[in-house]
């Protein structure tokens, strides 16, 4: 809490070899992860990848069978929910419908044991300050049903912050909002995080959201951690074919590697493996990594222009090449379009500028 | 519909047709089944004249019967609200062997002829019955006392509370309880401050239904009550007695009073419901 006396040092979370299964389905499979004090961490993955289970396990809402979770070194799995002091924001907010905004935010303070409970005046002061922090002053007496989705989201956040949590956990915080409100709230959440300095974890299935907002991103798949890294790491050096495909915006090619290298769209790139790998390989090329070469040079692979989408800072061109059913998307500079070189049905040459190639094991 | 066009402002044409037809059928049906018979009660008792009506209504035996009927129905509905909630909670929240059987058994009071229930209770609670023989040495008399009436009415009213609370509890969002727990509330605080307020509307409805049923209940009660005037004689029985005496005016007087009191109580319960809805910003 800003200004609430000395700010407590943010908490570090260690997840060690966590396991949880529902019947034969492993929701979490030997997950280990360190959340640095004060960082904003995204758990990214498709539904069923275990990201929400992991978040709920950290909160103490889901019991796990194996492994431990430590808050600043202290084993949290033995603590009660109250002792964990976790601020949890639910996807559907879980606001108490029969209580006003004020009562919702004050709830966590009012249910404290008598000797720890602040006086009524103090509670009122804190609730007002929290509502200012989430930019909802003056709505104390409204009921949740009288608020918009974005406002409910903020009330849920204020309510979670009221208990002065050790960590803030958000489950799909923007999942239930429309696109415009999402963008606004995203920026605002980033600012709020800077202001509170709390160790914060949020779950999302939207890669853009995760990469834009988080300090670090954890990509999950089938109950396992697939890759952990800063957004730049993840974007520039996706560790696995899965990460490449999940981030999207790539064309996938099946190819053959020889002595640690593979040819793709007229260029040769190294395979991401130790030693000289030879054998089948998967190559991923992003749209902006494909270059359209002028006909005179005649380098690369012949292709035919099938569609042109000339909006945005770059022009997206859909191309087809021989021996491939799916079209390939290329993002090219606007000048090429205004120069009139991109006619539908026109034959061109394309070339990959860079690519990531993984051995198929 | 020419009459409607002239006399009444025509409602805005709706995309979904059929208002005129369905409303007409509804009103006809309601009139035949409810409104005309009820009006009959008032018209007949109005024929008595005010003084005569008041004499019949303030008759000590009538007053005692009315007090007994409404008193026992209220107590039974209150007991059902508490224990019906408990039953609904157990049925929704836990799974145990025989759960479906128990769930089905809740509806028995709906299906069982009430006279059968009355006979069973009388046999059980009579001073020489299975339960009554244990209670008698403790000085507790159930059969042939107002207590027996409460027992019968609790039986009759239980499914109303269980069946109104059950679906609401089943739909209750578990995340609300989780949110409460992460905010530091104890289990007791969560149930009292989060779950119970959400269950108030169905609980009130169930209470009202159980109460209304209890006031009108006849079959099961007359067996266990013993029907001692001034002590365990319920108002519906008094109506029957008056009818058997060919005292139709006396019978309708009691009926009219019952109607007015029932209506007033149900009205109050509905006001409570509306107030509760408005309070949480769900006007309308």
pLDDT digit string (tens) for chain B, length 284 residues: 444 445 556 666 677 778 889 999 999 999 999 899 888 888 888 888 888 888 888 889 999 999 999 999 999 999 999 999 999 999 999 999 999 999 999 998 888 888 899 999 999 998 888 888 888 888 888 888 899 999 999 999 999 999 999 999 999 999 999 999 999 999 999 999 999 998 999 999 999 999 999 998 998 999 888 888 888 899 999 999 999 999 888 888 899 899 899 889 889 988 988 888 877 665 43
How many CB pairs below 8 Å do chains A and B form together?
A: 71
CB contact under 8 A, B280 and A59: no
pLDDT, residue B280, reads 67
Residue A82 has its nearest CB partner, among B173, B184, B193, at B184
Q: Which CATH number fits domain B49-283: 3.40.50.300, 2.60.120.430, 1.10.3720.10, 3.40.50.2300?
A: 1.10.3720.10
Residue B184 has its nearest CB partner, among A59, A96, A112, at A112
Which residues numbered 57-96 in B keep a CB inside 8 Å of some CB on A?
A: none
Q: How far apart are CA A55 and CA A41, in angstroms?
A: 11
Regions of chain A with pLDDT less than 50:
1-6
pLDDT, residue B79, reads 97
Q: How far apart are CA B124 and CA B142, in angstroms?
A: 10
CB contact under 8 A, A81 and B194: no
Instruction: Give the SS3 label for residue B271.
Output: helix
CB contact under 8 A, A111 and B197: no
CB contact under 8 A, A143 and B280: yes
pLDDT, residue B179, reads 95
B179: chain A residues, CB-CB within 8 Å: 88, 90, 94, 96, 159
CB contact under 8 A, B198 and A142: no
Q: Does B196 touch chain A (CB under 8 A)?
A: no
Interface test with B, best of A53, A79, A97 (most B CBs within 10 A): A97
Q: How far apart are CA B53 and CA B35, in angstroms?
A: 22
Count the Cβ atoms, other than its own, within 10 Å of residue A304: 15
Q: In chain B, what are the domain boundaries? A: 13-48, 49-283
pLDDT, residue A99, reads 92
Note every long-range contact of B117-124, with CB atoms under 8 Å and residues 24 or more positions apart, other chains counting.
B117/B152, B117/B155, B117/B156, B117/B219, B117/B220, B118/B152, B118/B219, B118/B220, B118/B221, B118/B222, B118/B223, B118/B224, B119/B223, B121/B148, B121/B151, B121/B152, B121/B155, B121/B220, B121/B223, B121/B224, B122/B148, B122/B223, B122/B224
B186: chain A residues, CB-CB within 8 Å: 82, 111
pLDDT, residue A2, reads 43
pLDDT, residue B241, reads 92
A61: chain B residues, CB-CB within 8 Å: 178, 181-182
For the segment A26-61, what is each residue's pLDDT rounded down to a tens digit?
899 999 999 999 999 999 999 889 999 999 999 999
SS3 breakdown of chain A: % helix, strand, coil, rounded to 5?
Answer: 30, 35, 40
Contact A217, A211 (CB under 8 A): yes
pLDDT, residue B6, reads 52
- Least CA distance to A146: which residue of chain B? B281
CB contact under 8 A, A94 and B186: no
ipTM of the predicted assembly exceeds 0.95: no
Q: Angle, nearest 10°, between helix axes B50-57 and B60-93? A: 60
CB contact under 8 A, B173 and A98: no
Residues 6+ apart with CB under 8 A from B25: none
Q: How far apart are CA A103 and CA A117, in angstroms?
A: 15
Q: Closest by alpha carbon to B44, among B218, B242, B222?
A: B242
Note every long-range contact of A45-51, with CB atoms under 8 Å and residues 24 or more positions apart, other chains counting.
A45/A205, A45/A219, A45/A220, A45/A221, A45/A226, A45/A246, A46/A205, A46/A221, A46/A246, A47/A205, A48/A222, A49/A220, A49/A221, A49/A222, A49/A223, A50/A220, A50/A222, A50/A223, A50/A224, A51/A203, A51/A205, A51/A218, A51/A220
Region class of A282: left (phi > 0), else alpha (psi between -120 and 50), else beta: beta
For the segment A155-181, what is each residue's pLDDT rounded down to a tens digit?
999 999 999 999 999 999 887 778 888
CA distance A280 to chain B (A): 48
Residue A108 has its nearest CB partner, among B183, B186, B280, at B183
Predicted structure pTM score: 0.80
Total residue count of chain B as it appears in this document: 284
CA distance A73 to chain B (A): 21
CA B3 remoteness from chain centre: 41
Start-end of H helices in chain B? 2-7, 19-30, 36-46, 50-57, 60-93, 99-105, 108-111, 114-125, 132-135, 146-171, 174-182, 187-190, 196-216, 219-225, 235-244, 248-279
For the segment A260-272, what is each residue's pLDDT rounded down to a tens digit?
888 888 888 888 8
Q: Which residue matches tokens 């029969």?
A: A98
Instruction: Give the SS3 label for residue A269.
Output: strand
Query: The tokens of A303 are what?
Result: 């292709």
CB contact under 8 A, B183 and A107: yes
Q: Does B171 touch chain A (CB under 8 A)?
A: no
Q: Does B238 touch chain A (CB under 8 A)?
A: no
CB contact under 8 A, B182 and A146: no
Contact A168, A208 (CB under 8 A): no
Q: How far apart are CA A148 and CA A159, in angstroms?
A: 16
pLDDT, residue A5, reads 41
The A-side interface with B (CB below 8 A) comprises: 59-61, 81-82, 84-88, 90, 92, 94, 96-99, 107-108, 111-112, 142-146, 159-160, 162-163
Q: How far apart are CA B16 and CA A131, in angstroms?
A: 44
- Least CA distance to B175: which residue of chain A? A94
Q: Which stretch of DSSP H or E encloses residue A330?
A: strand A328-333
CB contact under 8 A, B181 and A81: yes
Contact A68, A56 (CB under 8 A): no
CA distance B173 to chain A (A): 8
CB contact under 8 A, A111 and B185: yes
CA distance B204 to chain A (A): 16
Q: Closest by alpha carbon to A273, among A265, A263, A281?
A: A281
CA distance A209 to chain B (A): 24
Using alpha carbons, list the distances in angstroms from residue A185 to A41, A46, A128, A138, A193: 17, 22, 20, 19, 12
Give me Rg for the CA atoms of chain B.
23
pLDDT, residue A159, reads 95
CA A198 remoteness from chain centre: 18
């Amino acid at each position: 809490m800003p200004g609430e006396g000395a700010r407590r040092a943010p908490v570090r979370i260690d997840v060690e070899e966590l396991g949880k299964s529902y019947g034969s389905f492993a929701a979490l499979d030997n997950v280990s992860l360190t959340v640095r004090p004060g960082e904003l961490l995204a758990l990214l993955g498709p539904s069923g990848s275990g990201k929400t289970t992991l978040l709920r396990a950290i909160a103490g809402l889901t019991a796990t069978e194996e492994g431990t979770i430590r808050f600043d070194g202290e084993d949290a799995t033995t603590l009660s929910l109250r002792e964990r002091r976790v601020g949890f924001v639910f996807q559907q907010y879980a606001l108490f419908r029969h209580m006003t905004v004020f009562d919702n935010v004050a709830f966590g303070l009012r249910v404290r044991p008598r000797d720890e409970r602040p006086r009524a005046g103090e509670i009122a002061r804190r609730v007002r300050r929290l509502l200012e922090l989430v930019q909802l002053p003056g709505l104390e007496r409204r009921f949740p049903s009288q608020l918009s989705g974005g406002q409910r989201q903020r009330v849920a956040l204020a309510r979670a912050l009221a208990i002065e949590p050790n960590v803030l956990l958000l489950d799909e915080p923007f999942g239930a909002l429309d696109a415009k409100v999402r963008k606004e709230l995203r920026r605002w959440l980033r600012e709020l995080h800077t202001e509170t300095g709390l160790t914060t974890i949020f779950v999302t299935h939207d890669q853009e959201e995760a990469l834009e907002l988080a300090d670090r991103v954890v990509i999950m798949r089938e109950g396992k951690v697939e890759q952990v890294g800063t957004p730049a790491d993840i974007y520039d050096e996706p560790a696995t074919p899965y990460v490449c495909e999940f981030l999207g915006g790539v064309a996938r090619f099946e190819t053959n590697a020889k002595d640690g290298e593979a040819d793709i769209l007229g260029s040769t790139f190294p395979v991401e493996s130790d030693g000289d790998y030879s054998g089948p390989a998967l190559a991923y090329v992003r749209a902006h990594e494909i270059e359209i070469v002028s006909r005179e040079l005649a380098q690369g692979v012949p292709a035919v222009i099938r569609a042109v989408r000339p909006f945005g800072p770059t022009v997206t061109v859909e191309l087809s090449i021989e021996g491939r059913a799916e079209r390939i998307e290329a993002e090219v500079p606007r000048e090429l379009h205004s120069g009139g070189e991109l006619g539908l049905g026109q034959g061109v040459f394309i070339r990959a500028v860079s690519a990531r190639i993984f051995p198929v094991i | 519909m020419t009459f409607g066009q002239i006399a009444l402002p025509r409602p805005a044409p709706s995309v979904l047709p059929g208002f005129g037809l369905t409303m007409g059928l509804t009103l006809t049906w309601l009139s035949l089944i409810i409104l005309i018979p009820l009006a009959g009660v008032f018209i007949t008792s109005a024929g008595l004249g005010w003084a005569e009506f008041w004499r019949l209504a303030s008759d000590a035996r009538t007053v005692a019967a009315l007090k007994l009927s409404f008193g026992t129905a209220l107590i039974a509905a209150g007991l059902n609200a508490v224990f019906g909630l408990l039953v609904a909670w157990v049925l929704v929240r836990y799974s145990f062997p025989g759960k479906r059987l128990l769930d089905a058994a809740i509806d028995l009071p709906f299906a069982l002829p009430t006279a059968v229930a009355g006979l069973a209770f009388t046999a059980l609670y009579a001073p020489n019955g299975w339960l009554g023989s244990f209670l008698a040495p403790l000085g507790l008399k159930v059969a042939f006392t107002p207590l027996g009436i409460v027992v019968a009415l609790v039986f009759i009213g239980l499914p109303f509370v269980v069946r109104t609370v059950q679906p609401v509890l089943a739909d209750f969002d578990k995340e609300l309880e989780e949110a409460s727990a992460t905010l530091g509330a104890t289990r007791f605080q969560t149930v009292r401050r989060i779950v119970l307020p959400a269950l108030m509307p169905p609980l009130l409805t169930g209470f009202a239904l159980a109460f209304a049923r209890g006031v009108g209940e006849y079959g099961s009660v007359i067996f266990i009550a013993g029907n001692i005037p001034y002590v365990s004689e319920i108002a519906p029985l008094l109506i029957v007695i008056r009818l058997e005496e060919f005292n139709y005016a006396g019978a309708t007087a009691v009926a009219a009073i019952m109607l007015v009191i029932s209506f007033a109580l149900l009205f109050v319960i509905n006001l409570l419901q509306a107030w509760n809805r408005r309070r949480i910003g769900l006007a309308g």
